[in-house]
Structure 1
């Protein structure tokens, strides 16, 4: 990984994983169904993804009941939030650097040919 990419979190490189952690970053905790519906993914996909993110320390899975109905809630851990912030900042820096490079190519004669 290049120096510019050192802030990227490998666990968040897949778009579905990024969508899930981005959704969870906007709340303290969310019910499994809400995450699934918002991210438009299947139950098995979210279950597998949540388990993987939990084992990597980015996500917490809490199980409980509402009445007699079992429920699962997902939340980002403190380190998960920090890693997401770093990941997003790195993506922004990569985009800004590429914008600067494109501007240089447009203004320097012969560089864009």
Structure 2
């Protein structure tokens, strides 16, 4: 039995964390993409509140996601008030789906291993 088999994985199979994308996986960016995927567009002020971020911190995360073409930033007005919205792009939706799939696989692997070894004492 090799080390991979002892760890509960078949030989030659990539470990689920290899499928995680550092750009998407960062918790605030994952939150931004997840919220954006739930609606057509989301106002930046809502993201700031929901994710409990400062304006500067949120701006930096949005810049990273926009540079990776995972979101589009849209500026406009609601009445006389300037507003900024973001939309998840098709590329962003694919990246989010891949991230969730990798996390799901990791959780399933952990649960299977936990069942096989029984409760820890």
Fold shared per TM-score above 0.5: yes
Q: Which runs of 5+ in 1 are unaligned?
A: none
Q: TM-score, normalising length from structure 1? A: 0.85
Q: Which runs of 5+ in 2 are unaligned?
A: 1-13
Dislocated runs of 4+, deviation >3 Å = none
Do residues 16 (structure 1) and 28 (structure 2) align?
Answer: yes
Paired position in structure 2 for 1:26: 38
Corresponding pairs, count = 108
Alignment root-mean-square deviation, CA: 1.8
Do residues 106 (structure 1) and 118 (structure 2) align?
Answer: yes
Q: Would the aligned equivalents of 1:9 and 1:84 in 2 still touch at CA under 8 Å?
A: no
Once the two structures are superposed, what CA deviation does each residue of 1:7-28 show, in whole Å capped at 9, x if it has no partner? 3222122111111111111011
- The residue matched to 1:28 in structure 2 has which SS? coil
